[in-house]
A and B are shown apart, each in its own frame.
Chain A
């Protein structure tokens, strides 16, 4: 016993020593942990905004979502761009272009003195390379359909042709594109991020280093990317449009909305894409004047799966659901200031939008009648219906509100909230089998201001199934009108055709419950000048127009 006691007495230093060592290590760590407090203020113009999470990719060919586009549109440039305010097509790398009278041949003249970030001048060969890369099967671009109208594109993608027949670069500063058929929105498609011009020496890399270090010819060049932390962009001095006013752009990845708002208020962000609700008086008192509202080309809806009962072939049922939902309450009271109620499909500002479309104003009596007409008086006999929703605060609330509205006419639906992966699987299904979701909350924002950009992907029967027309909608007359509008060149005629198509789809054969036209709301600090509130949305904004003017804050 005493022997153990003795050895114990000679031991105590051991454990304590361990403790002291750990504390020292911790102190050392803390000391090394960088400086405390914010860096010294300088005259440097830095703009900091937030994305919810890292962009899936910075490769223009692979960019298929708004987060990726928010970076790509500032690092890269294509032949043409969309003016964010007027939505007109403006020259970019191409300084001018002509279109042949039959609408088949587009000739572009490239600007002098456009440089890539690595210093090399941009030539027509680079345009050729970039388009080939986008169309090449090996690249795996989900948006190669953008260049599909070019003659010979399909053959090139399939591998049966070594080059694109309709693409020619007669000299260093000219690019000629020949289309297989007239395609009215072609120029609009060329404004998209995927049609950016890339340097071959960087993007031919088999090790794909460009995924973490993109190079383009846009106003900002890529600096660094720390996963889940931030992306840093620096001004490109030799941008053809002149060096941008901003010296640095920092993109911070912050997922939680409440945390992001607090960071904005504390001054860690210069803009925020998720402002507090309008009725949030406490927050609005703090940041109210900094909230900007603007319409945004998109619409939200609750889709019906038209390949399954009970919605299959039952127009009255779909109309009944539409009359049952109180859109005024949703967008006037529940989500004030965030959207306008939608009566149709084509959002305001897009040619073809019909402000006189009656739509389905809230009318419980009519809803009940139609429900009975549909064969389910007071909801009796309805099979179980579920509404699938992608995880998200607002999505769920909207679905719950619709659930509550439908309950008032006797229809009981259940809500399935699942994450994006499961949601897409349930909603889109496969080419052979329709998705399992009878109803689904969805939305669509347009890539460019053309009604074709919403009607064709969602309602045209050629996209039946997982490629976009998830609801499996098929209306021959609507199809015909959409096809016709594609080849017509007179804008007035096109708008008229789209109006007619929309009226049929909305009033005679509704594909979904029409909910809202998006209105974007963003916060910008007062010292951020040059802000453009664009229908292109919060993320597809050109940062080269911004500048920081501190002093008055």
Chain B
């Protein structure tokens, strides 16, 4: 039996792109929300910070014609807070991941390319970050800066209290990226094309930039998209513990925390932001997974 006609062929069928499409859709919707937040709320007519509703009825109020998702614990329109919250969540997720990617790629490339003692040292550092209970460290660091509005670096950000969250997450996230990049570099370094390039006499940086890095891109993109989801979840958890975005900022995590007291009787206050987190993170996870499949080099080989 030749490979082409063996029943093993069933393993090689290309994967449906459905998860990727769904993921892209989910993320796309929320990105749109975030970008067009002021427009949307203008159209809806509600300010996420303004208390609406009758002064006689105790908030939160259920969904109605005026407030499509009802109001939160202080009588603010939930839908507009959700939409604005998309900005904060995406900001945290993406920026933190970019920081992690930047630091991690650089350090991982150094480790993978240089090898030897540099490699060992950097990987020990990465080990340290891994071994450390990240959530606790994040909690401790953020608790150590109770006034982000006046802290030197953070002061200039639009939302300093959120800024510290993504700084911390980025600084904790570099380890997995570095490990990944290093592994890829180690693998690629031994491959023929790299050795050929070196034989020709190309210098180190050139080899890295032109040959190694582009090939390491695939797992990096996947790890990055997965990382965004993880960061958004982390932000929700930190808000739950009481650190992170300051009131009255409508971060989704803070909204879930506020809503959990009403969970039994008025679940939508807690469920809506929780669902939003779920969908966005799911979207990123699906994209990451879908990309991983899409960019899988084995696909090409199988069909050939």
* A interface residues, Cβ below 8 angstroms from B: 256-258, 261-262, 276-283, 329, 333-334, 336, 391, 393, 396-397, 399-401, 403-404, 414-419, 422, 426
Instruction: State whether A422 touches B73 (Cβ < 8 A).
Output: no
User: Which A-chain residue is minimally distant from B147 (CB atoms)?
Assistant: A416
Kindly provide the distance from the CB of B281 to the nearest chain A CB, expressed in whole angstroms: 23
- Residues of A close to B261: CB separation below 8 A: 257-258, 393
User: Is B264 in contact with A283, judged by CB distance below 8 angstroms?
Assistant: yes
| Segment with Cβ contacts to A, from B12-20, B85-93, B225-233, B241-249 | B241-249
A286 to B247, CA, bound (A): 32
Contacts of A403 in B (CB 8 A): 248
Answer whether residue B266 sits at the interface, using C-beta atoms and an 8 A cutoff: yes
Determine if B74 and A404 form an interchain contact, defined as CB atoms under 8 angstroms apart.
yes
| Binary CB contact string for chain B from 143 to 167 against chain A (1 if under 8 A, 0 otherwise) | 1001101000000000000000000
Task: Looking at the assembled complex, report how far the CB atom of A455 sits from the nearest CB atom of chain B, in whole angstroms.
Answer: 31
When C-beta atoms are compared, the residue in chain B nearest to A416 turns out to be B146
Interface residue? B55 (CB, 8 A): yes
B200 adjacent to chain A (CB < 8 Å): no
Q: Are A333 and B247 in contact (CB under 8 A)?
A: no
Contact A417/B247 with A277-B58, A333-B55, A397-B74 known, Cβ cut-off 8 Å: yes
Q: Which residues of A contact B246 (CB under 8 A)?
A: 414-417
Chain B interface (Cβ < 8 Å from any Cβ of A): 51, 55-59, 73-74, 143, 146-147, 149, 242, 246-248, 257-258, 260-266
Closest 5 pairs between A and B when the two form their complex, measured CB to CB: A282-B265, A279-B58, A391-B242, A280-B265, A418-B146
Shortest C-beta distance, A182 to chain B (Å), equals 45
* Other 18 A-B pairs with CB < 8 A, given A280-B265, A391-B242, A418-B146: A258-B261, A261-B264, A278-B58, A280-B262, A282-B265, A333-B55, A393-B258, A393-B261, A396-B247, A397-B73, A397-B74, A400-B248, A403-B248, A404-B74, A415-B246, A416-B147, A417-B246, A422-B146
Given A393-B258, A422-B143, verify A282-B247 contact (CB < 8 Å).
Answer: no
Complex CA distance for A128 and B153, rounded to whole angstroms: 59
Chain A residues within 8 Å of B265, by CB: 276, 280-283
CA distance A256 to B56 in the complex (A): 29
**With the chains together, A262 CA to B257 CA distance in Å?**
17
Q: B247 and A415: CB pair below 8 A?
A: yes
Chain B residue contacts of A281, Cβ below 8 A: 265
Give the residues in chain B near A336, CB-CB below 8 Å: 58
Residue of A nearest to B264 (CB): A283
Contact of B264 among A258, A391, A416 (CB under 8 A): A258
Closest B residue, CB atoms, query A390: B242
**Complex interface: chain B residues within 8 A of A262 (CB):** 264
Taken together as a complex, chains A and B put the C-alpha atoms of A261 and B257 apart, in Å, by 16
A531 to B104, CA, bound (A): 62
Query: B260 contacts A258, CB within 8 Å?
Result: yes
- Contact across chains for B263 and A258 when beta carbons are under 8 A apart: yes
Minimum C-beta distance from A461 to chain B (A): 29
